[in-house]
Amino acid sequence: MDYLIYYLVPSALLMVTFISWVLTRSVKASSGIDVAVVLFLLFMMVAMLIGPAYVYLTTLNFTIGDVAIWEIAVFMSVGMMPIGVLLFAKFWMQGDPDRKGPLPLSSLLEHVSGLRLSYILLLFFSELLMGWTFNLASGIIGLSDGYTLGAVESEISYSLTTYWFVFTMVAEMGITLFAFRNTVRRDLLAVLALQAVVMFLTPTALALQSWETYTVYLEAVVMTGVVVFAIVYLRRSAQRDLALLDYLGLFIIANAIMMGGFLLWLATGDTLLLALSLVVETLIYFDAVLTGAGLGQTFRGGFIPRPSLQPPTAVDPAVVPSPS
């Protein structure tokens, strides 16, 4: 299976780069059509990964060929055609100066919180299915005939704790933080970077005794720094950012759950609690980076003013009514 790494690693990097680019586009979207394109791209990514997973669960036969064929089919039929139509519609609308009224799909901009939730869930499922798919392709996990729902849950939770999920998520964090380095506030950017470091130091990411030992100590040092930062921020900041404080609190709680999950894994081999902590960390990261980067601030109004093509006419002072 070693030869598969030469295919899987570049594929994972391409997917991570693609998801990161879509994430940055979601913040920069300015119209309903832009938002629809982002949603289509995220749905495409999820659909591309659901296909091989479905084939695997129904046949227990998983090959690189299945993944490649499904990728090509989805990119051609599900992904590019709707995106092409939307992009054509966008340019057509922008090139029609006589049109007035609401922009197409402007209703997508009315509820930023719901849109943010949709982005977060689609981004998370993309990461979840990508980690599961690459674990299957590399032979790290696998079901047997007569499997149960509990076996599927155990397999997915284990895949969340391996390097295929952890390191790809860290790579995505690094790319998006670099892209938003001039957009996100410095204090939030620093904590987001620390969260990326903490996730990178997940003890179960690599099946090495030295990795498990040293990462626990290093992660404890980093989290101590996060707690110190929170205390200093509370004491010195005249105007506290409640959103940042909420994020810090959730981050610290998620890491405490991670430590408990690691201890449970050492004692029993169960990865469920550890996987749940990584899920929470992923969700709060996406929420924090979308909010901190200003999701919704680039949305334009739902109407395009109709430009006047005629020069202004002079007003005859004789017909102007005199004030009473």
Q: Where are the domains of the chain?
A: 1-159, 185-297
Q: Between 317 and 190, where is the model more confident?
A: 190
Compute the mean pLDDT over every residue in the chain, rounded to the nearest whole number. 78
93, 104 Cβ separation under 8 angstroms:
yes
CA angle, corner 308, sides to 304 and 313, nearest 5? Answer: 150
Q: Residue 55's pLDDT is what?
A: 74
Q: Is the pLDDT of residue 296 over 60?
A: yes
| Entry pTM | 0.79
Q: Is the pLDDT of residue 315 over 70?
A: no
Q: Residue 64's pLDDT is what?
A: 56
Q: Residue 166's pLDDT is what?
A: 94
Q: Between 99 and 161, where is the model more confident?
A: 161
162, 8 Cβ separation under 8 angstroms:
no
- For residue 268, what are the CA distances in angstroms to 263, 264, 271? 9, 6, 9
Query: Tens digits of per-residue pLDDT, 110-155?
Result: 778 888 899 999 999 989 988 888 888 787 887 777 778 888 888 8
213, 232 Cβ separation under 8 angstroms:
no
pLDDT range class, residue 98, cuts 50, 70, 90: low
Across 211-221, average pLDDT: 89
